[in-house]
Chains A and B, each alone.
Chain A
C-alpha cells in the first residue's frame, strides 16, 4: 500500500520535471535560433560602412552606404522615450506604493489601467500618436516618435517596477517611518534604493521594447536618409530600416536588413549588459 502511494508521487514528480525541462528547452532553442538566423543572414552584409555611413541610393533600394542614420535615430529616440517614461513611472509607482494604502480602490484602478495599456498593441499607439499629431498640427518627427514610444513603454516600466516594489517588506517602510522619514524620503532614500535593481531591470525591458518597436514609429517618427538633427524633423529608426530593407525584392538589400537586425540586437544586448555591470557596484548594501 505504502509502496504504491510512493510510486504514484514519484511518477508525478518525474513527469512534471520532464515537462519543465522541455519548456525550458523550447525557450532556449527559440532564443538561439533567432540569434543564429539574424547572425547567419546578416553577418555577410555587416561592415564598417554599415555603422559609419548614411544610406546611399535610397533606403528602399540602396545597396551601399550604411544605416548610421537609423542607429543614431533609434538610440536618441529610445533613450529619450525611456527617460520620459522613467519620469512618469517613478512618481506613479511612488504614489501607488507609499501614498495609497494597500487595498486602496484607486490603486487597484490605476494598476488595472496600466495592465490594459500594457496589452494595447503598439500599432494602436502609433495610430493614436498619429491622430494626436494631426490634432496638434505636428508632422512626423523625432519628438512625436519619442512621445509615442514613451506612451507605449510607460505601462511596461511602471508595472514592472510596481510589482517588485509591492513585495518589499512592509517592515522596511515601517522602519523608515519610525525614524521620522517623510513619505518622499522613504521612497527615494530607502524603497527606491532597495528596489534599484528592479528599477534598472524595468527600465531596460522598457528600453528594449521601445527601441525595437516598428509600428509605433511608422507614422509618428517617419523616416529619413539624413542623420537626426532636429526634434521637429523626421528621424530614421532601426526597426523601420529593417522593415523597409527586408521588404525589397533584392537579396542584397534583404541581407542588409538582417545586418540592421543584428545591430539592433547587439545594441540592446550591450546596453543591457553594461547597465547591469555598472549597477553591481551600487547594490552592495541592498538587503538580501
Chain B
C-alpha cells in the first residue's frame, strides 16, 4: 500500500494546549480514510494540518513532518497555494462564496489560471455533475449560491473543491449539518469518487464511518490510539479504548 499522505511525529500546540501528540500515520492512496474519536480529540486539527490551514490559527506551533507524495509540506520551499490546490476541503457547515452558483465553481479555476470561457463552462458543468448537483441547478447557474438549500450548498462546495483538480478530498464532518437525505447523497458521492481521489473524512458518526471507511484512524485526546484497515479496527480492535468507543460506551474522564 502506497501512502499518499504521511505524518511523522506530528505534534501541534495551540498556545500551551497540546492538541496532537506525536502522530505518525500513513493515509492510503485512493481510499476513504476516516478519522474517528470523541469531540475535541484533535481530529479537525489533524485534517487541517494536511493543507496547512491550521497555520491561520493564533499561536499555533507545529513540530514533526507531514509528507504529501513523499515531500514535506512544511518545508519552506513548499508553495502553499499549490499545496492547497491539491486538496479539496469540505467544512462541517458548507461555506459558499458570495457569488453565483456558476462563479462558485469557476472561482478556483480562475485563480489558478483558467480564462477560456468554454473551458470554464465545460468544467462547471462537469464538476456540478460529479457532485450530483447539475440537474437541480442547471437552469439557475447565475442565481446566488446562498439561496440553495444547505444540502445543495454542501454539494456545491464539493463541486468547487473538485474543480481545482485536487488529489485529495478532505472532509471535516461534511454531513454533520445536513438532513439525512442530503447526507446520504454526499456519502454516495464519496463512495463514487474514491477511485479518483484519496479521501480523508472526520466524523463522529460511527455508523457513517463503518459505511464509508477503508481505513480508520482512532484519535483520543491528541494521541493516536489505533489505525488500520476498517475491517480490522471495527471488528478486532487491539486497544480496549477503541473497543469501548466502538461499543458506544465511552469514558470521558479527560473532559473538563
Contact = CB atoms under 8 A, between A and B. Distances in A.
Interface of A: 101-103, 169-182, 185, 189-190, 193-194, 284-288
A178 B160 CA distance: 11
B91 A175 contact: yes
Given A102-B58, A174-B53, A189-B107, A182 B95 contact: no
Given A103-B58, A174-B53, A174-B56, A180 B98 contact: no
Given A103-B58, A179-B84, A194 B107 contact: no
A278 B96 CA distance: 25
A179 B98 contact: no
Nearest to B160: A179
A194 B98 CA distance: 6
Given A102-B58, A178-B51, A180-B108, A284 B144 contact: yes
Contacts of A286: 98, 144, 146
B243 interface: no
Contact of B97 (A103, A172, A288): A172
Interface of B: 51, 53, 56, 58-59, 81-85, 87-89, 91, 93, 95-100, 103, 107-108, 111-112, 144-146, 157, 160-161, 164
A185 B111 contact: yes
Contacts of A287: 96, 98, 146
29 contacts: A101-B58, A170-B56, A171-B91, A171-B95, A172-B95, A172-B98, A173-B56, A174-B91, A175-B89, A175-B91, A175-B95, A175-B97, A175-B157, A178-B53, A178-B84, A178-B161, A179-B84, A180-B84, A180-B85, A180-B111, A181-B111, A182-B111, A185-B111, A189-B107, A190-B97, A193-B99, A285-B144, A285-B146, A287-B98
A179 B53 contact: no
A177 B97 contact: no
Given A185-B111, A189-B111, A176 B97 contact: yes
A178 B58 contact: no
B95 A180 contact: no
Nearest to B81: A180
Contact of A285 (B58, B82, B88, B145): B145
Contacts of A181: 81, 111
Contact of A288 (B58, B146, B161): B146
Contact of A179 (B82, B111, B145): B111
A62 B88 CA distance: 71
Contacts of B81: 180-182
A180 B88 CA distance: 9
B99 A180 contact: no
A140 B96 CA distance: 51
A175 B89 CA distance: 8
Contacts of B83: 180
